[in-house]
Amino acid sequence: MSANRVSVSRRAAALGALALAGSLLAAVPAHADGGSGSPSGAPTAATTPKNDGAKNICKRLPTTEERITKALNRLNGDATVVGSVARLQQRVTEAKAAGHAEIETYLNNRLTVRKALVPTLKARQGDLKAVATWCAAHNEGAGK
């Protein structure tokens, strides 16, 4: 029986040593920069990206502009357009008139999100105009 107890204590010691080694190995990459003085998480010269993806952004620009325009047209459509703010507003009004409080709350929350999407998409549309100007000036995406 004492042999069994020794074996259990050896296993516990081995597991403890293994856990310690694992924690030390996990900590090594965090300190691998050699104390360069840069704040933790800040990119160093070795980790900065070599390509910001400008060529691909310029290449996809017409498709992105089309998608944003299509989404804005849908959101700004009248009550007959599926996905429009007006149609969802009409559904909220109908749920309220029918006395469906839970449905009204659910649809009203969706309406709030959908209304907030319109200014976001308009801002992106404006950003894409600036990107299009940059792409034209830098001849990016010429190999479409």
- pLDDT > 90 fraction of the chain, expressed in percent and rounded: 57
**Amino acid in the structure at residue 98:** A
Average pLDDT value over all residues in the chain: 80
* Residue range 88-115, pLDDT digits in tens: 999 999 999 999 999 999 999 999 999 9
Q: Number of C-alpha atoms within 13 angstroms, CB side, residue 33?
A: 14
Q: Does 23 score more than 80 pLDDT?
A: no
Burial (CB count within 10 angstroms: exposed 0-12, middle 13-18, buried 19+), residue 48: exposed
Query: What band does 144 get if pLDDT is binned at 50, 70 and 90?
Result: very low
Task: Give the DSSP per-residue string, 32-99.
Answer: TT-S-SPPTT---TTTS-S--SHHHHHHHHHHHHHHHHHHHHHHTS-TTSTT-HHHHHHHHHHHHHHT
Given 3-state DSSP classes, what are the helix, strand and coil percentages for the chain, each rounded to the nearest 5?
A: 70, 0, 30
Query: What band does 26 get if pLDDT is binned at 50, 70 and 90?
Result: low
Domain segments of the chain: what residues?
Answer: 54-138
Q: How far apart are CA 114 and CA 121, in angstroms?
A: 11
- pLDDT > 70 fraction of the chain, expressed in percent and rounded: 62
Query: What band does 140 get if pLDDT is binned at 50, 70 and 90?
Result: confident
Mean pLDDT of 12-31: 56
